[in-house]
Amino acid sequence: MGRAHPSIAFLLLLFFCFLVSTLVALSDSRRQDPLLPLPNANPLRFSADGSPFKIALFADLHYGENAWTDWGPAQDDGSDRVMSAVLDAEDPDFVIYLGDVITANNLPITNASLYWDRALSLTRNKGKPWSTVFGNHDDALFEWPSEWFSATGIPQVNCPSANVPFSGDTDCSFKGTTRIDLISTEIKNNVLSRTTRGPNTLWPSVSNYVLQVSSYKDPMLPVVFFYFLDSGGGSYPEVVSKAQAKWFQRQSQGINPNASIPEVIFWHIPSRAYQKVAPVPTTQIHTPCVGSINKEKVAPQVSEWGIMDILASRASVKVPKHHIHLSSGVDDDLEPRVAVFAGHNHGLDWCCPYKSLWLCFARHTGYGGYGNWPRGSRIISIDEQPFSITSWIRMEDGTEHSHVVLTP
Ligand SMILES: [Zn+2]
C-alpha cells in the first residue's frame, strides 16, 4: 500500500474541516431557540369599560372515556353541562383548557380531534376565544381493557370517524393521536383558538407558548403575560424539561426584562413545589391556603429541572412589607408577580403561597376522570387599573366559593 498523494490528503483535510464546521453550526442553531413571536396582530385585550379580564379554567374534562359503554357518553354529556353552566354564570372573556381534555387511552379511533373538538365547541358556540395546553391523557396510546379478552369477548366499539361498528379494519385505530396532530387540527379549524405550537426545539413537548393581554388603551401595551408549558405525560415523561425552563427564561427576559409585567403560568401536572406547600391530605385547608377540597396527595411531575427557581426569581420587585397582606409562607420583601395554575389532581382545588408565587389547582370540571367531587371551574379575574388578580371557584350548581386575592 503506497502513501496517499499529498493533494488527496489536503482535500481530505479540507473535507474534514468542512464537516466539523457544519456540525458545529448545526448544533448552534439547535441551541438557539427562536423566541416565539407574540400574536400582536390580534392580542387579547382588556375592555374599555374597566371591567376585569375574566378567565374560566376547564380542567380534566376527559372526553371519550369508555366510549363503548353507556356510562362513558353520559359522562361527556355531564361535562357539556358543567361548561355551559360556567359559561352562562361567569361570561368569561377567555377560556383555558388545562389539559386532559380527552382520555386518549380509551379512544380506539384514528382521529381523537373529534373528541377534542367537542370539548372546544362549548366555548366556540359562545364566541369566546380560548387556548389549550396538553395533559398526560391527551396523546396516550389506547389501553386494551383486559375484560375484553374474557369469555364475553370484545364488545362492539363505535369508531366515530366512520361511525360504524368495529369491524377490525381501518375504521378504528389504537395508536392514539399525536400532540402535533391535535394542536394542528385545533389551530387550523378555529379562528377563536389562541393555542400556538411551541418551538420545535422543545420537542417532544408541544404546547409551549406565551399570550399577551393588552391594555384597553393600547393594543401593544402588555398588562399581563400568560405562559403555557407542556408538562408531558402520555408519549413522554411528566416533566417540564431544562430546555423548556431555559426557553421560558429567554422568552420572559426578552419581552419582560424587569419582570415588571406580571406573568401567569398554566400547565397540567403540578410541579414538585406543590408538595412543599400542600396541606396534609384530607385535613382542613387553613390560611394562607384557600380552597375547599383536599382529598389526596399531590401527584407531581417526576422531576424538577429548574423552572420553579426561574419562576421564583421573576418576582424581583421590592415593595414595603405592609403592602403584603399574606400572613406567612411568602417572602415578605418580594411582591408576588407570578401565579401558577395546574390541574391533574381531581381531589384538590386549593391555592397556597410558595416563595414569591402562588400555586393553585384548578377545579375538576369534567365528568370523565376519577373522583366524584362536585364539578366546577376555577375563575381568574384580572383588573388592569390598579392591577390585581383574584380567583374563585364556580360550581356546576351555580354556587361559588374559595375567593382568594393573588396580588398585594
Ligand atoms: Zn385528569
The residue segments making up the domain with residue 314 are: 45-146+156-405
Rounded CA-CA distance 267/145 in Å is 29
- The confidence score (pLDDT) of residue 80 equals 97
User: Which residues are within 5 Å of ligand 1 (an ion), measured at CB?
Assistant: 60, 100, 369
- The confidence score (pLDDT) of residue 235 equals 87
Q: Answer yes or no: is 25 within a domain.
A: no
- The confidence score (pLDDT) of residue 226 equals 95
Q: Answer yes or no: is 128 within a domain.
A: yes
- Report the predicted TM-score, pTM, of the whole model to 2 decimal places: 0.86
Distance 125 CA to ligand 1 centre (A): 24
Q: Answer yes or no: is 23 within a domain.
A: no
Nearest to 38, CA basis, from 214, 240, 242:
214
Q: Answer yes or no: is 2 within a domain.
A: no
Residue 235: how many other CB atoms lie within 10 Å: 17
> Which of 34-43, 62-71, 276-285, 384-393 has the least mean pLDDT?
34-43
Q: Answer yes or no: is 362 within a domain.
A: yes
Rounded CA-CA distance 150/130 in Å is 43
- The confidence score (pLDDT) of residue 314 equals 83
- The confidence score (pLDDT) of residue 165 equals 44
Q: How many domains does the chain have?
A: 1
Distance 268 CA to ligand 1 centre (A): 8
Q: Tell me 69's DSSP state.
A: S
Q: Answer yes or no: is 11 within a domain.
A: no
The H-or-E segment that residue 280 falls in is none
Distance 344 CA to ligand 1 centre (A): 4
Distance 368 CA to ligand 1 centre (A): 8
- The confidence score (pLDDT) of residue 23 equals 46
The residue with cell 407542556 is 230
Distance 220 CA to ligand 1 centre (A): 36
> Which of 32-46, 138-152, 197-211, 348-362 has the least mean pLDDT?
32-46
Query: pLDDT per residue over 252-271, tens digit each?
Result: 999 998 888 999 999 999 99
- The confidence score (pLDDT) of residue 330 equals 40
Q: Answer yes or no: is 40 within a domain.
A: no
Rounded CA-CA distance 390/37 in Å is 28
- The confidence score (pLDDT) of residue 174 equals 81
Q: Answer yes or no: is 320 within a domain.
A: yes
Distance 60 CA to ligand 1 centre (A): 4
Distance 217 CA to ligand 1 centre (A): 39
Per-residue pLDDT band at 66 (split at 50, 70, 90): confident
CATH code, domain carrying 91: 3.60.21.10
